[in-house]
Chains A and B, each alone.
Chain A
Amino acid sequence: EDKVVQSPLSLVVHEGDTVTLNCSYEVTNFRSLLWYKQEKKAPTFLFMLTSSGIEKKSGRLSSILDKKELFSILNITATQTGDSAVYLCAVLGGAQKLVFGQGTRLTINP
């Protein structure tokens, strides 16, 4: 059965800190890994990763995929209170099925 596991489940840091969120997966016929940010209701798309070792970057956020070790990390540098959210990792595998992890709840304290 396809599985996506995120860690930590919850993280509290101070504004300005750097955080690393983890996502490991077991899926058949891996196609891509996606990161989403969910604040109040609707998740918003952050990154889609398909190739190992190629960092995707958007402002203070960056992400990289390791297809050999089956994981991805999402880094946020110089965190701000507006980064507080649940970060979701999802993997697209065989049968075009998108499987989500439990999410990491990130809280940034001023």
Chain B
Amino acid sequence: ETGVTQTPRHLVMGMTNKKSLKCEQHLGHNAMYWYKQSAKKPLELMFVYNFKEQTENNSVPSRFSPECPNSSHLFLHLHTLQPEDSALYLCASSQEKDYSYEQYFGPGTRLTVT
């Protein structure tokens, strides 16, 4: 499989559930990102990992917890979410340290919190 993959593609969860989103990149990149895309809002950068180290956390609530075990895998652990967290969650990767390089996006996970 090539590029950036995300699983699951769709997820419905209750407010008390715990779930995880998975992202995997097969491009040999060293930087990975989580974005949130809500309806009628700009794409929001949530977390950045560079060489497995988290380099940015854009004031994201603690109910979102990222994990990057290696440079090819990125997880987003979810717990006690709110209905307003329903959105499309996109993962992306790019080459190394310069985020201005083109980012390759995964297909996204459509999350619905009930």
Q: Do A and B bind?
A: yes
Interface set of A (CB-CB < 8 Å, partner B): 4, 31-32, 34, 41-45, 48, 50, 88, 90, 92, 95-103
Whether A92 and B42, one on each chain, are in contact in the complex, defined by CB atoms closer than 8 angstroms, is no
Q: State A52–B43 Cα separation when bound (angstroms).
A: 25
Closest to A91 in B: B100
- A42 and B105 in contact (CB under 8 A), knowing A32-B100, A48-B100? yes
* B residues contacting the other copy or chain, number (CB 8 A): 24
Q: 0/1 per residue, B3-27, Cβ < 8 Å to A?
A: 0100000000000000000000000
Q: State A34–B88 Cα separation when bound (angstroms).
A: 21
Within the complex, the shortest CB–CB distance from B108 to chain A, in Å, comes to 4
- A103 and B56 in contact (CB under 8 A), knowing A34-B100, A41-B88? no
- From B43, B45, B106, contact of A88 by CB (8 A): B43
Within the complex, the shortest CB–CB distance from B110 to chain A, in Å, comes to 8
Within the complex, the shortest CB–CB distance from A54 to chain B, in Å, comes to 15
Within the complex, the shortest CB–CB distance from A42 to chain B, in Å, comes to 4
Whether B42 and A4, one on each chain, are in contact in the complex, defined by CB atoms closer than 8 angstroms, is yes
Whether A97 and B56, one on each chain, are in contact in the complex, defined by CB atoms closer than 8 angstroms, is yes
Whether A96 and B105, one on each chain, are in contact in the complex, defined by CB atoms closer than 8 angstroms, is no
Within the complex, the shortest CB–CB distance from A99 to chain B, in Å, comes to 8
Q: 0/1 per residue, B51-64, Cβ < 8 Å to A?
A: 00001101000000
Residues of A close to B40: CB separation below 8 A = 102
Q: State A88–B44 Cα separation when bound (angstroms).
A: 12
> Would you call B75 an interface residue if the criterion is a C-beta within 8 Å of the partner chain's C-beta atoms?
no
Chain B residues 67-114 with CB under 8 Å of chain A are: 88, 90, 98-108
